Amino acid sequence: MTPFRTLCALLTCLACLPAFAQTIRIASFNTELQRDGPGLLLRDIRRGDDAQIKAVVGVIGQNSPDILALQGFDWDYDAVALVAFIETLEAAGVRYPFHYAPRPNSGLATGLDMDGDGRKGGAADAQGYGRFSGQGGMAVLSRFPILSGQTQDLSDVLWRDIPGALLPTHTNGTPFPSPEAQAVQRLSSTGHWVVPIRLPDDSILSLMVFQAGPPVFDGPEDRNGRRNHDEITLWQHLLDATFGTAPQRRFVLAGGANLDPNDSDGRRVAIRSLLQDRRFQDPRPVSDGATLAVDQGHQSDNKLDTVDWSGVGRLRVDYVLPSADWQVQGAGVFWPAPGQDGHEMALTASRHRLVWVDLVLD
């Protein structure tokens, strides 16, 4: 066979092979990098010797998501800590040229008694629990352009304005803790954002980001449990076009619900409804670490767990849920089993584990 015919035959064979579809990895990670005072996270990042920060950077580097929703990261006005963290990631070989991190509700002062303890100015009297403005905030990091001028920030939506809001009351039926508090109480403990991101195929992904408050640490009025329920259901109200502009296709929810569908103390119907909503799909990401852990007697499958809390145990509370029109190529929770690469790093980084989903670009 002549060289020309050999080349033609080779090209013909290559043309018969299936094309490798491009994928993007989207992850959610509650880093728990919040500190006890403003500026302390920046201090720890710049020192370069903080074991937790090193572990968080290592976890992100080992998983290398293209788009990353961070929770539990302290906010500051000029995003100085976030930029320092991004620079630390870049030094480790992970580059995110685009980020989004508006002011969260955590630590945002109200001047009122919001938790009904008779005092003002405490961490629980802010719009969302926090000792200072921005404690335990959120951020989005991306390798692809974030269309900042087109984002939707639903963080200022008042709780009372949600359809069917489960507002707490005193035993006599009056608003808890007071009518004045409910008149200003925002729904979001941290934030609810819809962040449009331009993908390599020039399509737009709508990333729906949040971190709900815990459904516990309250009294018989169940203020936190009710709020957690409504924070989760806000996404369905958005898709129903009750608030804002509903994304029509290619959206992904990434964040923390603070609620397991079967084993959490809270109003589990909220997360069950979200997981069963046909506009989403649940890739049910798993890990070896959770799969091989000692059985807790929980109703949920151990392998789906994403957090390990002392006393409470392991639960599934962190989620990445693509819209139904995505093709999912893979999904997982970064929780290596003992003896596997990255096991100690994952445990040092946070009680939460990074959750990822790989999606196919058509």
- 242-248-250-255 Cα dihedral, nearest 10 degrees: 0
Q: What is the number of domains present in the chain? A: 1
Structural domain harbouring 228 = 22-360
Amino acid at 39: G
Domain membership flag for residue 16: no
In a domain, 14, yes or no: no
Instruction: Report pTM.
Output: 0.93
Q: Are 328 and 359 in contact (CB under 8 A)?
A: yes
Number of H helices, E strands in the chain: 9, 13
Assess if residue 4 is contained within a domain: no
Q: pLDDT by residue (tens digit) across 157-208?
A: 999 999 999 999 999 999 999 999 999 999 999 999 999 999 999 999 999 9
**Whether the bond into 285 is cis, omega within 30 of 0:** no
pLDDT at 244 over 90: no
pLDDT at 281 over 80: yes
pLDDT, residue 18, reads 44
- Percent of the chain at pLDDT > 90 equals 93
Strand 204-211 relative to strand 251-256: parallel, antiparallel, unpaired? parallel
Could you tell me how far CA 338 lies from the centroid of its own chain?
26
**Type of residue at 307:** V
Q: In this predicted structure, what is the pLDDT of residue 243? A: 82
Answer whether residue 154 is part of any domain. Answer: yes
pLDDT at 20: 62
Let me know if residue 65 belongs to a domain: yes
- Give domain status of residue 325, yes or no: yes
Percent of the chain with pLDDT over 70: 94
pLDDT at 234 exceeding the cut of 70: yes
Check residue 362 and give its pLDDT.
81
The reply to whether 53 falls in a domain is: yes
CATH number for 41: 3.60.10.10
User: Does residue 73 fall inside a structural domain?
Assistant: yes
